[in-house]
Amino acid sequence: MSPRKASIEPTPRELQQLDEMSRGKSYLQAADALGIAEDTVRATMRRLYRRIGARDRSHAVSIAVYRGWLTVPPSTDRVDLTSDELLLLAFISTGRTYREIGPHTGVTEAIVQERAARLFPKLGVRDRTHAVRRGYELGLIRPLPSVGARG
């Protein structure tokens, strides 16, 4: 008998928590919306990130969209972003930190942070994770196998 390969597919409860987080909610807000403890959401998300190979929440959303675990309905809204902002959004979706993004874009970490501060209001979001979800909704980024999903 061959050993059983562990599934990396999230449980419905994990996906529910990730979906709440992808909508710009904090751990506490997601926990309140789902009627569970904040520590439970934090622990569940940490386990999920490890299991699917995600660097952070925004990367977990990208992996979930790529794998078809999380459905993000398209939006008819239109947002005009600069090429630098589109590149930043793509890097954020891979879970890279601002410090890691800087050398890839030829600017300092501080400039990456400034660009993010301008990008988020344009997308109508408050954090990186919500920016990634919004990017998928608007068709500004596409799910790519190179986002680091393993399995």
CATH 1.10.10.10 residue spans of the chain: 12-67, 83-145
Do 136 and 151 form a contact (C-beta atoms < 8 A)? no
Structural tokens at position 2: 């061959």
87-122 per-position pLDDT tens digit: 999 999 999 999 999 999 999 999 999 999 999 999
For residues 121 and 142, give the distance between their C-alpha atoms in angstroms, rounded to a whole number: 21
User: Look-up: residue for tokens 């299991």?
Assistant: 51
What pTM was computed for the model? 0.86
4-52 per-position pLDDT tens digit: 455 789 999 999 999 999 999 999 999 999 999 999 999 999 999 999 9
Q: Looking at the domain covering 12-67, what would its CATH class be?
A: mainly alpha
User: Look-up: residue for tokens 């009627």?
Assistant: 35
Do 93 and 59 form a contact (C-beta atoms < 8 A)? yes
For residues 83 and 65, give the distance between their C-alpha atoms in angstroms, rounded to a whole number: 23
CATH code for the domain defined by 83-145: 1.10.10.10
Q: With cut-offs at 50, 70 and 90, classify the pLDDT of residue 151.
A: very low
